[in-house]
Each structure stands twice: as structure tokens, then as C-alpha cells.
Structure 1
């Protein structure tokens, strides 16, 4: 997607965005295992995962959280306006992300405030990773530091 950058002034609480869908594969999960060195059998052994009540290997919760950020980034909303991620709060892994799930991100701006430094402000977003059944699998609140369009003040 190719959208115009959202600067601090543009972030209106209540405004919502939705990403495209992503297919989570067993190979994606295996690569995340290698990257993080977390080879728990829930993520590597479908038979073991079934003994724990899952239909197959499941993704790490942190994989899902990272994917949320990636899907949000794919919208192209902050290409020139993002300064930093300030952190994630109230992260909840509501349901398992299973290999074969098709997920997307829905998020909305919930509030914002200027900072003491000119030219920047903090925006809070509420994000949801949603599977092909319309179920929320992960939800979290994220704080972003965004540039202002005017370099001296934020409205």
C-alpha cells in the first residue's frame, strides 16, 4: 500500500486502519525459532502441540507481536514521520496463532499528546491481530513518537 505519511497532527483518535492479510506458515515459525533460539516443541513439533490442545505447531507470542508491527509498517503510514517506538503495553495473547492461519492487523489511534521537545508528539495506538475467523488473537497498546509537520510545534 502506498499511503501518505501520518504526522502527529494527522493522528486523529478513532481513526482506524487495516492491513492486508498474511499467511503464517510452519516455515515462518521455524525461522523465528532459529532467529530467537526458542525451539520449544509447541513451535516445532505438531504432534506435541496436539497433546496440548492445539491443531498443530503454534507461533511464538512474540512472533505475532512482531508481525503486528510489520503488518502495520506495510501500510506505509510512517515512512517519513516515525521517530521511534516507545514501547508496547497491555499485550495479551488471546488465542494461539497456528501455522496456516491468515491474519491481518486492525488498529486505531486512541490518544495523543505533544512532548516537551518541539517538533514531535506521542501517539497511542490500539492494535489487534485478527485471524481468518475474525477472532482477535493478540491485542496490544503501542506508543509511537512521531514528527510534527511544523518543526517547531505540534497542534
Structure 2
């Protein structure tokens, strides 16, 4: 069920479902983004890196996080705009075959000058199947306020 600005509370937490990063994900993201860096696309080259194998694009994993969050339905029809990504860090590599999920904590909410919307700041983290945080940062979003009932 979609959540309006009023429904979010500072300290509230949400966890997404998991998703396994596949070979197809990496290949398709390389094609869409044009990022054919051999660390992502060349298995022989990747063997010579500190990771020992190909890694997923950091922005692919960030994109997966946005999709996993959307699948919760929390902001279906209430998200107006994504305004900012703050202090986003790529902490650990994500390998093909890793399963990631997202965690969100509401850290701030504030009203705007317009009565139909508010700003929600969320601390987000992506974790792998071992519970390791692989990415983290903050998302700033504009969310609809609950419509006033007609008299």
C-alpha cells in the first residue's frame, strides 16, 4: 500500500527482497551504459585484478537497489521526484552470483512551502548474502502528502 509523507516516521526501517546478480545483468548493463570496462566484461583480465573475477558495475547495483525499493510498493503513486543522492559510497565489490538486498531508514522529513508534498531523507544500504554492506548513502525524495478529504 502506498505511503504518503505523513506515513513516514524518523527511525522507521524497511527491508527489500533479495536479488541475485547474474551474468545477463552485467552484460545488459554494459550495453545500456556503454561501460565495457574489462573489470566487468573480460574474465581473463579480471583474474589479474585484486578481485580475481569480474565484478558488477557499481551503478548496476545502485540501480538494482532502486528497483528492489520500488517493488515494495511503498511509494507507488506518491513519489513525486528523486532530488538527491548524498554521500553515496561503494564499499565492497559485488560479484556475479552475489545476492543483494536493500535496507532503508528514514532519517529526516520536512514540509515544503507547497502543501501537497514533503521531503523525506532516507539512509540506504545494500547488503550481500553475507550481511556485508557493499554500498550506502542517502536518498532525498519528494513525497505526496495525503489528499484532503472532500467535504
Q: Answer whether contact 1:26 1:57 (CA < 8 A) is retained.
A: no
CA contact (8 A) 1:87 1:143 kept: yes
**Displaced runs of 4 or more, over 6 A:** none
Indicate which of 132, 137, 140 corresponds to 1:135. 132
Aligned to 1:42: 39
| Residues in 2 aligned to 1:133 and 1:141: alpha-carbon distance in whole angstroms | 22
Distance 2:53 2:111 in 1: 46
Matched, 1:95 2:92: yes
- How many residues were matched structurally? 149
TM-score, structure 1 normalization:
0.92
Q: Could you tell me how far 1:98 is from its partner in structure 2?
A: 0.6
What RMSD in Å do the two structures reach over aligned CA positions? 1.3
Separation in structure 1 between the aligned mates of residue 47 and residue 93 of structure 2, nearest angstrom: 12
Q: TM-score, normalised by structure 2?
A: 0.95
> Which residue of 55, 63, 66 corresponds with 1:66?
63
Q: Among residues 107, 112, 116, which one is paired with 2:113 in the alignment?
A: 116
1:81–1:122 Cα change, 3 Å: same
- C-alpha separation in 1, matches of 2:135 and 2:48: 23
